[in-house]
Structure 1
Amino acid sequence: MRLNPARGRWFLALAILLEVTGSLSLKGALDAPALYAVVVAGYAGAFCCLALTLLSGVPLGVAYGVWGASGVALTAILSMVFFSEPLSPLMILGIAVIIVGVLCIELGAHIAHRRRIEVP
């Protein structure tokens, strides 16, 4: 079963948000154990959305690369906002490198897709 390819991007974005929610809730659950339910729901939802992303036709390398990298960057940034965790200049550089890496994955996937279409 294949879904609409345009929906894959929405499922991927939702998978990223759910994974980040689960990760942030894990830190919060140390003080409020009820948040463990949010952790489980966040991770379960993230994997379901990632599966729907793949079913929609987004290649595994692209989906997993964007999901993992975006989750790391967003979690680091939001940890600063919600938990007052520091972001050093080196960490900020790392987040910038992650963003560039995600862009490279996306552009590379588009180029590979075009080449596959051009080859009879």
Structure 2
Amino acid sequence: MAWIVLILSGMLEAGWALSLKASDGFTRLWPSVAFVVLLVGSMGGLSWALKSLPVGVAYGVWVGIGAALTAVVAIVVFDEPVSVLKVVSLVLIVAGVVGLNLSSGGAHE
């Protein structure tokens, strides 16, 4: 269950990062509200998951999911440029997240 919460928290991390961009420096109300709500949810889930998962692995997975998902959504929603190097780098992040999960026997939590 901790891994499921951690993965969802990583997804919420992407949500708050994207909301921060959409808030335009906290000048737009609803993206700013979404930022706060998603940030609290993301940190709360990470905190809960850390009760039973090792911090190095859990934090790496959380950041990796958030970073990769943020980059993919930014390409689609904010029309950020995409390149072969960017795609390869995203694949490496995902591979790192999978490797961290496997290194800790994550499927058994």
Structures share fold, TM-score greater than 0.5: yes
Q: Structure 2 matches for 1:70-85, cutoff 5 A?
A: 70-85=65-80
Aligned to 1:10: 4
2:32 aligned residue (25, 33, 36): 36
> For each residue in 1:35-81, what CA deviation from the matched residue of structure 2 results, as whole angstroms up to 9, or x when unmatched?
111111111111100011112x1211121010001111110000011
Answering whether residue 16 of structure 2 is matched by residue 22 of structure 1, we say yes
Q: Distance in 2 between matches of 1:101 and 1:11?
A: 19
- Give the secondary structure class of the aligned counterpart of 1:75: helix
1:90 aligned to 79, 85, 94, which one? 85
Q: Aligned ranges for residues 37-76 of structure 1 at < 5 Å?
A: 37-55=33-51, 57-76=52-71
Q: Structure 1 residue 106 and structure 2 residue 101: aligned?
A: yes
The size of the alignment, in residue pairs, is 105
Structure with more contact order per residue of length (Cα contacts < 8 Å, sep ≥ 6): 2
The structure having more radius of gyration, on CA atoms, is 1
Stretches of structure 2 lacking an aligned partner (at least 5 in a row): none
C-alpha displacement of 1:110: 2.1
Give yes or no for contact 2:12–2:66 (8 Å, CA) kept in 1. no
Task: Give the Cα–Cα distance (whole angstroms) in 1 for the partners of residues 103 and 58 of structure 2.
Answer: 13
| Gap runs ≥5 in structure 1 | 1-6, 114-120
TM-align CA RMSD: 1.9
Of all paired residues, the percent bearing the same amino acid is: 34
